[in-house]
Amino acid sequence: MRIKVDGKDFEVKPDENLLVNLNNLGFNIPSLCYMPGLKPEARCRMCVVEVNNKLITSCSHYPKEGMEVFTDSERVRRARKINAELLLAEHKDSCSQEHELCKIIDELALRETRFEPLKDYKLDLGEAIIRNNNLCINCGRCVQVCTNIQSVNAISFAFRGHEEHVTPVFEKDLSEVACTFCGQCLISCPVGAIKEREHLNEVLKALKDKKKHVVIQTAPSIRASLGEEFGLPPGTLVKGKMVAALRRCGFDKVFDTDLGADLTIMEEATELLERIKNNGPFPMFTSCCPAWVKFVEHFYHQLIPNLSTCKSPHEMLGTLIKKYYAKLNGLKDVIVVSAMPCTAKKFEAARKELKKMVDFVLTTREIARLIKYLKIDFVNLPDEDFDPALGISTGAGAIFGATGGVMEAALRTAYEIATGKKLTKIEFDQLRGLNGIKEGSIIINGKEIRFAAVSGLANTRELLKRMNKYHFIEVMACPGGCIAGGGQPLPKTKERIEKRMRALYEEDAKLPLRKSHENPIIKKLYDEFLEKPLSRKSEELLHTRYKKRED
Amino acid sequence: MQILRKTGLKGLEKAKRLGSRGVIRLLKEKKITGRGGAGFPTWKKWKMALNAQADIKYVICNADEGESGTIKDRFILMNNPEAVIEGIMIASYVLNAKESFIYLRGEYSYLKKPLEKVIRKLKVNIRIILGAGAYICGEETAILESIEGKRPHVREKPPYPVEKGLYGKPTLINNVETLADVAIALAFDDYNPELKLFSVAGNVTKPGVYELHSNIKLYDLINMAKPKKKIKAVYFGCFGGCIPYTDIELTTENVCRMGALLGSGTIIAVDESHSIVDVATNIAKFYEFESCGKCTPCREGTNRILELLERISVGKGKLEDIKTIEDIALVMRDTAGCGLGRSASNHILTALKFFRQEFEERVK
């Protein structure tokens, strides 16, 4: 289909809206509320273009044959400028100048607004996520994501007119409602009105305290995304620089959570084999995603017995650091910090039953801020290796960061433990890629084990309707898995997520040790300390329990 | 009055004789147009709804009469509810609708019982849904959201309700007066489409509903309503904006030519004892309160216009403030998401066009 844009002819795709078409053609149409894949709500009115002497929102209109579009007429520019000015007026609280609204304001050369802010909302201090309605511009992306992508409905719009604002029910805090703290709202926000609850100050204080031995562990998916915060292209693996930078931040040891991931796999694969022996309960669900766990506790507590009792990888490693590594090295005051792509991990670390085995969780963004604050020249750092002892890992843990990865790693181990045979092909292609729901099956000792991997909580609700088909289901709350987690660098785009995913699988393919049960450290840990998977000691240290939440 | 003629199900009987296509042809011949304010030809809307392919269709009577000064629908619902309900029955017959609704303004809750009585008497199944007092619910897509139990936020059009309406099914939404007109036009061969209702309010001693020829002159209409003092301006509800008191024929085109909107025929007279600045501030307060909050220009714009007008009205404004108001008002008209938002600035744009001096005097 051909249309005329600013006097020139262009070929456009009739099934894409005007906004996407025009931006693909290189026109710079600003937009604050549109999100690819969701029904446009056309709230912000920034993406207007002139057609037939009328201004229309390009996000909610499709091209028509012979259409004549003006993207930058005087009228269009005036409309965008006034609307941006009106939004800017209500967005003055400690603005970080890095987000989408500020970029648009720069492009419109809008240096000041004629209005004073009128809003005065209290902060919503959720345990892992903080919302500041005084920065909010009511674009509605967070509500759309929470409702349509995650089906959690923790937040929605209330009141009307100028008083309309985003809020959990009855003006409660996020902590008081059924919020999973997945952070998808946060990474969708174009103005930085939603942020993680920061723990940087606490970590800095611990780092300065000479009496404390401060250990940091980094999640698999961070090495594929941290570089973005320092201007490196998405998908750049920065493991070496990351370790070097963290060491220069003053951490006494830098460990790889991959080891915790390998342990999780050992325990979880054994648990699966136990369930196969005892005929259930099926399906078994993975438990490494804390947002998913909280989702079950709120909405599907009848499925609590189906959840694997395994702690998540960083909690397993945290426990080993405090209970094993500390004793081995005669250390008294050990602080464990986890660098995670996730906001829900902050909530997880504060769960009472986990007894503070991890003291603080920092998101990828906080890690970047820490490195910048300490004026470390990240890009030019030499590559360094993780600390040994609890610092060698297999590749199986690395792919934990992508949806389908946990399942793939667990299946490799479960198959080989149960059959005593080697897998001829260790890549499970049906579990890779960014599809919301992926499934397959494997024959273990003559029995067909059907499995599925799902990411995104609305997708999960769909899968749960037919869950009885499966023996084993991996759930990641964030669409795409941890590489698209609530703690990852902004802004979220599909391209970035795909590149991060590719990087993680590349790392897996390159590593010599690719099965958790072949990791010599794991073997040593079981021999010297834990005895065997699901031993009494393992149950005590590496497993946990869940509770029904009434909200 | 024509609108009060008792149809006694004669309209419905005729509709059944004519068949669906026949009714639509007749509506076209009789030149019936929507009386809700937009003036869309009724036969076109019905034809689109009839042609829409779907297993289920709905009919909704829009009785959410929220425009300031407008009381004509209430007048009809109180005095000739049978005609309205017969209109709904005709529409349901034409579309073979599964269910029909009357979306009744929350403030008219006292009309619910009498209407239900008529519905029982006529042995039809029509559900009355009470609004909760939001002006935006007069907008047809907001009605749909409201009936579905959601926040009454307007939907992006297209798709139009006749294509995808209530619960995603083709839905015909017509105003009270339109549906009564349909029943009367079908029941009586001498139906006159030139007659319409005017709601008259403001500085007059005989406010109320007048049925007049649609080319009535403004002076004649105001004289009928007997003002005490000299009239200087008339407002067409809030959303239609104002014009200075001039003797024009009150047709949609004439009013439009002056930059205002006749809408559903509401005339609010303002006499010389009132300042247009105060009237504008009052109307701005109404819109600030009634904006639904969905889109930027209306949510923030109505609020800022009120802020500036309040400043001007107490003598603390500056000359630039008038310019700022105009800037916002023009962008609201250009970019707001629904009819409410686009017309919420008409009152101030027309006031500044015809009575700018009053504003400028107030800021000096």
Scored b (16 or more CB within 10 A) or e, A197-207 reads bbbeeebeebb
Minimal Cβ distance to A42: which of B299, B328, B337 = B337
Tokens of A492: 């979220």
**Whether residue A548 lies in the annotated active site:** no
**Is A44 close to B288, i.e. CB distance below 8 A?**
no
Output the average pLDDT for chain A.
90
The band of A90, judged by pLDDT with boundaries at 50, 70 and 90, is confident
**Whether residue A482 lies in the annotated active site:** yes
Residue ranges of E strands in B121-194: 126-130, 171-175
Residues of B in contact with A55 (CB under 8 A): 334-335
Of A120 and B21, which is predicted with more confidence?
B21
| Cα(A75)–Cα(A140) distance, integer angstroms | 26
What is residue A501's predicted lDDT score, i.e. its pLDDT?
Answer: 86
- Helix boundaries (H) for B4-41: 10-29
> What separation in angstroms does the CA of B245 have from each of B210, B257, B263?
19, 15, 18
**Is A161 close to B293, i.e. CB distance below 8 A?**
yes
Other Cβ atoms within 10 Å of A290 Cβ, number = 27
Q: What percent of chain B has pLDDT over 70?
A: 100
| 3-state SS assignment for residue A441 | strand
**Whether residue A47 lies in the annotated active site:** no
| Cα(A198)–Cα(B175) distance, integer angstroms | 55
Residues of B in contact with A46 (CB under 8 A): 296
**Is B296 close to A44, i.e. CB distance below 8 A?**
yes
The model's pLDDT over A264-297, given as tens digits with 9 standing for 90+, comes to 989 999 999 999 999 889 999 999 999 999 999 9
**Is B293 close to A159, i.e. CB distance below 8 A?**
yes
Other Cβ atoms within 10 Å of A295 Cβ, number = 26
The model's pLDDT over A464-510, given as tens digits with 9 standing for 90+, comes to 999 999 999 999 999 989 999 999 998 888 888 889 988 888 877 77
The full DSSP string for A250-312 is T-SEEEETHHHHHHHHHHHHHHHHHHHHHT-SSSEE----HHHHHHHHHH-GGGGGGB--BPP
**Beta strand pairing status for A129-131 and A48-51?**
unpaired
Residue ranges of E strands in B186-230: 195-202, 208-213
Task: Evaluate whether ipTM surpasses 0.95.
Answer: no
Which of A384-398, B186-200, B319-333 has the least mean pLDDT?
A384-398
**Is A164 close to B299, i.e. CB distance below 8 A?**
yes
On whether the CB atoms of residues B84 and B59 are closer than 8 A, the answer is: no
What is residue A550's predicted lDDT score, i.e. its pLDDT?
Answer: 77
On whether the CB atoms of residues A55 and A76 are closer than 8 A, the answer is: yes
**Whether residue A268 lies in the annotated active site:** yes
pTM metric for this prediction: 0.90
| 3-state SS assignment for residue A454 | strand
Which residues 226-265 on chain B approach chain A with CB closer than 8 angstroms? Answer: none
| 3-state SS assignment for residue A373 | helix
The residue written with tokens 């024509």 in the block is B2
**Whether residue A345 lies in the annotated active site:** yes
**Whether residue A142 lies in the annotated active site:** no
**Is A82 close to B292, i.e. CB distance below 8 A?**
no
- End-to-end distance of chain A based on CA atoms, in angstroms? 51
Nearest Cα of chain B lies from the Cα of A82 at a distance, in angstroms, of 7
Q: How are the residues of chain B apportioned to helix, strand and coil, as percentages rounded to the nearest 5?
A: 50, 15, 35
Minimal Cβ distance to B292: which of A44, A78, A160 = A160
Of A528 and A424, which is predicted with more confidence?
A528
On whether the CB atoms of residues A541 and A534 are closer than 8 A, the answer is: no
| Cα(A154)–Cα(A147) distance, integer angstroms | 8
What is residue A398's predicted lDDT score, i.e. its pLDDT?
Answer: 57
On whether the CB atoms of residues A124 and A131 are closer than 8 A, the answer is: yes
Query: Is the predicted pLDDT of residue A390 greater than 70, yes or no?
Result: no
Candidates B244, B242, B243, B207; CA nearest to B224 is B207
What is residue B219's predicted lDDT score, i.e. its pLDDT?
Answer: 96
Tokens of A145: 């994501």
Q: Is the dihedral of CA A97, A101, A107, A112 positive or negative?
A: negative
- Quick check: B311 contacting A, CB < 8 Å? no
What is residue A506's predicted lDDT score, i.e. its pLDDT?
Answer: 83
Which residues 81-140 on chain B approach chain A with CB closer than 8 angstroms? Answer: 134, 136
Q: What percent of chain A has pLDDT over 70?
A: 95
Minimal Cβ distance to B288: which of A57, A75, A161 = A161
Backbone φ, ψ for residue A256 (5° rounding): -100, 125
**Is A161 close to B289, i.e. CB distance below 8 A?**
yes
- Quick check: B288 contacting A, CB < 8 Å? yes
The band of A387, judged by pLDDT with boundaries at 50, 70 and 90, is confident
Average pLDDT over residues A36-40: 86
**Is A42 close to B295, i.e. CB distance below 8 A?**
yes
Tokens of A236: 């750049």
What is residue A39's predicted lDDT score, i.e. its pLDDT?
Answer: 87
**Whether residue A171 lies in the annotated active site:** no
The model's pLDDT over A311-368, given as tens digits with 9 standing for 90+, comes to 999 999 999 999 999 988 899 999 999 999 999 999 999 999 999 999 999 999 999 9
**Is B328 close to A60, i.e. CB distance below 8 A?**
no
User: Among residues A188, A225, A308, A516, which one is catalytic?
Assistant: A308
Other Cβ atoms within 10 Å of A114 Cβ, number = 15
Query: Is the predicted pLDDT of residue A429 greater than 90, yes or no?
Result: no
What is residue B339's predicted lDDT score, i.e. its pLDDT?
Answer: 86
Of A517 and B93, which is predicted with more confidence?
B93
Query: Is the predicted pLDDT of residue A433 greater than 90, yes or no?
Result: no
**Whether residue A297 lies in the annotated active site:** no
The band of A395, judged by pLDDT with boundaries at 50, 70 and 90, is low
What is residue A546's predicted lDDT score, i.e. its pLDDT?
Answer: 94
Q: What is the largest CA-CA distance in chain B?
A: 69
**Is A43 close to B288, i.e. CB distance below 8 A?**
no
User: Among residues A196, A271, A366, A408, which one is catalytic?
Assistant: A271
Nearest Cα of chain B lies from the Cα of A78 at a distance, in angstroms, of 7
Residue of chain B with shortest Cα separation from A83:
B297
| 3-state SS assignment for residue A22 | helix
The model's pLDDT over A155-207, given as tens digits with 9 standing for 90+, comes to 999 999 999 999 999 999 999 999 999 999 999 999 999 999 999 999 999 99
Query: Is the predicted pLDDT of residue A430 greater than 60, yes or no?
Result: yes
Backbone φ, ψ for residue A523 (5° rounding): -60, -45
Nearest Cα of chain B lies from the Cα of A139 at a distance, in angstroms, of 8
Average pLDDT over residues B324-346: 94
Scored b (16 or more CB within 10 A) or e, A465-500 reads eebeebbbbbbbbbbbbbbbbbbbbbebeeebbbbb
Residue of chain A with shortest Cα separation from B150:
A157
**Is B156 close to A42, i.e. CB distance below 8 A?**
yes
What is residue A262's predicted lDDT score, i.e. its pLDDT?
Answer: 86
Q: Is B131 left (phi over 0), alpha (psi -120 to 50) or beta?
A: beta
The band of B268, judged by pLDDT with boundaries at 50, 70 and 90, is very high
**Is B331 close to A159, i.e. CB distance below 8 A?**
no
What is residue A56's predicted lDDT score, i.e. its pLDDT?
Answer: 95
- Quick check: B341 contacting A, CB < 8 Å? no
Return the ∠ at Cα B62 (arms to B266 and B82), rounded to 5°: 95
What is residue A126's predicted lDDT score, i.e. its pLDDT?
Answer: 87
User: Among residues A100, A127, A267, A268, which one is catalytic?
Assistant: A268
| Cα(B88)–Cα(B131) distance, integer angstroms | 19
Query: Is the predicted pLDDT of residue A401 greater than 70, yes or no?
Result: no
Query: Is the predicted pLDDT of residue B218 greater than 70, yes or no?
Result: yes
Kindly state the helix (H) or strand (E) to which residue A57 belongs, with its residue range.
Answer: strand A54-57
What is residue A396's predicted lDDT score, i.e. its pLDDT?
Answer: 57
What is residue A352's predicted lDDT score, i.e. its pLDDT?
Answer: 93
On whether the CB atoms of residues A201 and A462 are closer than 8 A, the answer is: no
Residues of B in contact with A138 (CB under 8 A): 293, 296, 299
The band of B158, judged by pLDDT with boundaries at 50, 70 and 90, is confident
